[in-house]
Amino acid sequence: MDFGISEDQILLEETLRSFLSDRVPIERVRELRHEDCPNDPEIWQSLAELGMTGILLPEQSGGSDLGLLDACIAAQSLGHAVTPTPFLGSAVMVPTALKNLDHPEIGTWLSGIASGELRFGVAITETFSVREGAGLTISGGKISGKAMMSWDICGADFILIASGQDRLAVVRSDAEGIGQTRLATTDETRCTSELTLENVECAATFENASESISRMLDAGRIALAADCLGACEAMIEQAVAYAKERKQFERVIGSFQAVKHMCAEMISELEPARALVWYAAHSFDAVPNETPLLACHALSHVSEIGREIASVSTQVHGGIGWTDEQNLHFWFKRIGVARGLLGGPQWLRERAATLQGLDKAS
């Protein structure tokens, strides 16, 4: 029995990677990092034409009606190409949160995401990590407060905001009372912002939404792990290619045992993680009761090995690997920042222990 991905999923991966290689090469990524927002609308629209923006949405919304595993294969490809895009929020987390909630505008929003006409930012960090002075409150259809490390607010049409563990709100990004400051992080392929709101009128509010928030976070963590997995793949491929070309003492460095071991160890660390991420994504639709635990394990593990793979692959490149002229740093930084976006490894493992009741063991 074959426990791998299907032929259709392999074709999806091949098609998307070929498209990204052609339309979003690293030279284009370099150009976009100097923009106010790296999320190029043309890239988003092209992904919509490929069916990627609506990959999780039902056909009646114009989507592809596929599962999270398919979305993770797409996320893995986007990470492999270090593509600047709001895919994680707009195509994975927002549809997961909204499609089972009730509001007259939801159908319009989801159709807009599927067609590529709408982009959503997400402000959900305070559901698992609240910094001093941050936090959001909803009262009388209006929302106030501060949200740190909000994603893809710049260039978005709407923002999905979580207030506490059981309330969600959607606001227009240009609503009166909204302020945003783009945060400077090392990863120039993602847009993160500090969001401030003062009596901002909500386009929709949802109470008793704890299940939607939980599912949204699980889907986001698994998809983020897949993105990091793809980035790790790209770094290993570049390290191996460089080791086959770079010569020292009239021999390619890939012939040296130390370099061989470095490359082999990176691969041996990555391959088991692939199965972990794929099964976590499979569980989301097939065995959802297992998903919260698997989402924690998948992201925490990939975050840990990703940091090591990013470091070792850069070492294989020697001194050139640490320079801006060498492209490797785009993947290095993407992996590094992703490590804390939806909970760091320590927090995720503590949550996994709580889910299993291990925090109560004597």
| Closest to 312 measured CA to CA, from 238, 257, 249 | 238
| Whether residue 92 sits in one domain with residue 197 | no
| Whether residue 127 sits in one domain with residue 88 | no
| DSSP notation for 89-114 | IIIIIHHHHHTTS--TTHHHHHHHHH
| Whether residue 278 sits in one domain with residue 218 | yes
User: Last residue of some domain: 115, 139, 160?
Assistant: 115
| Whether residue 234 sits in one domain with residue 204 | no
| Whether residue 235 sits in one domain with residue 173 | no
**CA atoms of 235 and 241, how far apart (whole Å):** 10
Domain count, the chain: 3
Distances (CA, A) of 157 to 60, 174, 190, 286, 324: 22, 8, 17, 33, 33
Task: Establish if 2 belongs to a structural domain.
Answer: no
Distance of CA 22 to the CA centre of its chain: 22
| DSSP notation for 27-63 | HHHHHHTTSS-S--HHHHHHHHHTT-TTTTS-GGGT-
| Whether residue 284 sits in one domain with residue 184 | no
| Whether residue 76 sits in one domain with residue 43 | yes
CATH, residue 141: 2.40.110.10
CATH, residue 301: 1.20.140.10
| Whether residue 352 sits in one domain with residue 287 | yes
CATH, residue 30: 1.10.540.10
| Whether residue 339 sits in one domain with residue 219 | yes
User: Last residue of some domain: 83, 115, 147?
Assistant: 115
Query: pLDDT truncated to tens, each residue of the chain (362 aa)?
Result: 567 889 999 999 999 999 999 999 999 999 998 888 899 999 999 999 999 999 999 999 999 999 999 999 999 999 999 999 999 999 999 999 998 899 999 999 999 999 999 999 999 988 888 777 678 888 889 999 999 889 999 889 999 999 888 999 999 999 999 998 988 889 999 999 999 999 999 999 999 999 999 999 999 999 999 999 999 999 999 999 999 999 888 899 988 999 999 999 999 999 999 999 999 999 999 999 999 999 999 999 999 999 999 999 999 999 888 888 899 999 999 999 999 999 999 999 999 999 998 877 54
Radius of gyration in angstroms for the set of CA atoms belonging to the chain, rounded to a whole number: 20
| Whether residue 219 sits in one domain with residue 154 | no
| Whether residue 149 sits in one domain with residue 110 | no
List the domain range (segments joined by +) for residue 190: 120-208
Q: Are 146 and 136 in contact (CB under 8 A)?
A: yes
